[in-house]
Amino acid sequence: MSTRQIILDTETTGLDAALGHRILEVAAVEMVDRRLTGNHLHRYINPGRASDDGALQVHGLTEDFLRDKPKFREIASELLDFIKDAELVIHNASFDLSFLNNEFGLLKLKPVKAYCPSVVDTLALARELHPGKRNNLDALCDRYQIDNSKRTVHGALLDANLLAEVYLAMTRGQDSLIIDMAPAPKAAAATRKAAGKLELVVLAASAEELAEHEKQLAELDKASNGATLWRQLGESAAAMPKS
């Protein structure tokens, strides 16, 4: 079964929906089986109010620009249709969800998790992987060597696409290796047949290479919350009775 994920980002008029702040931009980028499909939803929204000065400096979306844009109620059904039943991937998910839940509540709709029961918070994931370090989107782009040079201001669509790349980098593991690297059965059989005719030279890894390999395994194990295949096999082997 395919895994459908939606990387989502919003821009808002301020920091607290409880104080009457609203969403003024939303973007949702589709990824299926860890591959971006090219499908996305991106809408500017007339929030019906001005942005705080601090928020305006972040996103640069003025009242004049947003005045002729649709209200949230006009794009709500379209947004729900796009994200429904997918796993959401959001950076600092509690912030965006609080605003989305507020907008849905104003329209007498259920909270987001009634439509998308699974949410990945990439900020929480980054803090687990890189404790004590800066883990905002710019810092993560720098850490994973993702080009964010076009990010002069925050924009929901650009940020969602950058977050998709960051998420893939943070969660690289055995699933992505299987998807990206496993040869087709016929190709694998041909490779084995050809290899049987060759004298293969085996080069032993150096101590430094072994240490780097162990470090990489530890990062993959942590990113998958201990669900890596080698851990499962190791635990199974340990549980087997000794002969």
**Do residues 140 and 214 share a domain?**
no
Distance between the two ends of the chain, CA-based, in angstroms?
40
**Do residues 113 and 24 share a domain?**
yes
Query: How many domains, in total, are found in the chain?
Result: 2
**Do residues 56 and 162 share a domain?**
yes
In whole angstroms, what is the distance from residue 241 CA to residue 243 CA? 6
**Do residues 64 and 86 share a domain?**
yes
Structural domain ending residue among the three candidates 111, 139, 171: 171
Q: Quick one: pLDDT at residue 210?
A: 76
From the list 47, 43, 44, 55, the residue with the least C-alpha distance to 20 is 47
Handedness of CA 44, 40, 83, 172 (dihedral sign): negative
Q: Quick one: pLDDT at residue 163?
A: 97
Q: Is residue 179 part of a domain?
A: no
68 phi and psi angles, rounded to 5 deg: -95, 10
- Determine contact, residues 88/8, Cβ cutoff 8 Å: yes
**Do residues 134 and 227 share a domain?**
no
**Do residues 114 and 193 share a domain?**
no
In whole angstroms, what is the distance from residue 240 CA to residue 243 CA? 9
Residue 93 Cα distances to 51, 69, 164, angstroms: 21, 25, 14
Catalytic residue selected from 59, 130, 154, 213 = 154
What the block records as the tokens of 159 is 């940020």
Any catalytic annotation for residue 154? yes
Q: What is the CATH number of the domain that holds 37?
A: 3.30.420.10
**Do residues 111 and 133 share a domain?**
yes
Q: Is residue 126 part of a domain?
A: yes
From the list 78, 84, 92, 82, the residue with the least C-alpha distance to 112 is 84
Range of the domain at 23: 4-171
In whole angstroms, what is the distance from residue 137 CA to residue 154 CA? 10
Q: Cβ–Cβ contacts within 10 Å for residue 90, how many? A: 24
- Determine contact, residues 137/162, Cβ cutoff 8 Å: yes
Contacts of 66 (CB under 8 A, 6+ apart): 24, 44, 45, 46, 47
**Do residues 154 and 217 share a domain?**
no
**Do residues 39 and 146 share a domain?**
yes
**Do residues 156 and 62 share a domain?**
yes
From the list 162, 173, 176, the residue with the least C-alpha distance to 8 is 162
Q: Quick one: pLDDT at residue 59?
A: 93
In whole angstroms, what is the distance from residue 94 CA to residue 83 CA? 17
Q: Along the chain (243 residues), what's the average pLDDT of each consecutive run of 10 residues?
A: 94 96 98 97 97 93 96 98 98 98 98 97 97 95 90 85 96 54 48 53 70 74 66 61 56
